[in-house]
Amino acid sequence: MQQSPESPPKSPKETFLEPKNYKELLGAFEQKERLPLGEKLKFKGVGNKDVYNITAPFKAGNETYIAGRVESRSTNQDAHTLFFIEKDGTWQLDQSLPAFKLEDPFLTKINKEIIFGGVQTYPLPDRKDTGKLGYRTIFYRGKNLQNLRQFSTGPDMMKDIRLVELPEKKIGVFTRPQGKIGGRGKMGFIKLNSLEELTADNILKAKLIERQFCENEWSGTNELHLLKNGNIGTLGHIANQDESGKKHYFAMTFLFNPETFESSPIKIIAARKNFPKGEAKKPGLKDVVFPGGLIINPDQTATLYTGLSDVEAGRINLPNPFSTN
């Protein structure tokens, strides 16, 4: 997921004054779009439950895994994260590994240790009659998947917190504040000295990344890649809700300089229409792509792994969005 830097970070070449809204970004993407149709992934071992919002494949021990959100179609309150191994073109549940009561898993490696996490939901005392839930990000660490231990909990009501190992063993942390700071959801960044500093209080100290998103839209980080020039290749999503209540989620990327806080403009890299048609958890979620991870291939193409419409998972090959060519 990461590439060791060979030189100090360089500022992204592109500059901009004001962010573009998702329709402008989508228009630019569609003008140059030459993507092959993506494919859906098949999962076994979970009965009639859905598997979506997956990670990219990752190595742990001698096996390659995908972690995915597993959930009944009729609810969003029985979600678990489970681990799958590919066998004959299908991702089979590994029943020897623990299940975590978490949504939307993520995984990276820091100092040769697995860092795994997801979103934990909990009842809101003042909203019991509405059924709405609170949420927070839970972090685990360990040398292998069998012995992960919780070591940190993010702030209440914050999703999409992601980590990346920086030079000199520093930790880069992308955050997603909402409300008075962050509106519907924007990105922040803070640099920490160690995993021991990953606390809710420190996460809340992250500085907001300015001029990346329009006020009526929201975003979140899904995966981080340390690039050779020291920039952080940021994979995330940008989203909007239209007047009819339908949500629109797109996979996007940009480059971020952790020393100067400069970033390149957002670029959409995939939309729901780039995958085969399928069902949705709700009618208002048909146009949803929730990126989970990006594999940079030896030929400098990339493979994006993503959730689709909150019921399925897919992958698609595309040009390396972090390429400087």
How far is residue 99's CA from residue 255's CA, in Å, rounded to a whole number? 34
Query: Which pLDDT score is estimated for 16?
Result: 52
Q: How far is CA 222 from the centre of its chain?
A: 2
Q: If residue 221 lies in a helix (H) or strand (E), which one and from where to where? A: strand 218-226
Length of the chain: 325
Query: Which pLDDT score is estimated for 126?
Result: 73
Which pLDDT tens digit goes with each residue over 49-100?
999 999 999 999 899 999 999 999 999 889 999 999 999 999 999 999 999 9
Strand partners, 133: 123
Domain 22-316 in CATH 2.102.10.10? The answer is no
Instruction: Please name which of 39, 80, 87 lies closest in space to residue 308, comparing C-alpha atoms.
Output: 39
Tell me which residues of the chain have a pLDDT lower than 50: 2-8
Domains in the chain: boundaries: 22-316
**Distances in Å between the alpha carbon of 182 and those of 58, 179, 188, 294?**
32, 6, 9, 26
Q: Which amino acid appears at position 72 of this protein? A: S
How far is residue 291's CA from residue 294's CA, in Å, rounded to a whole number? 8
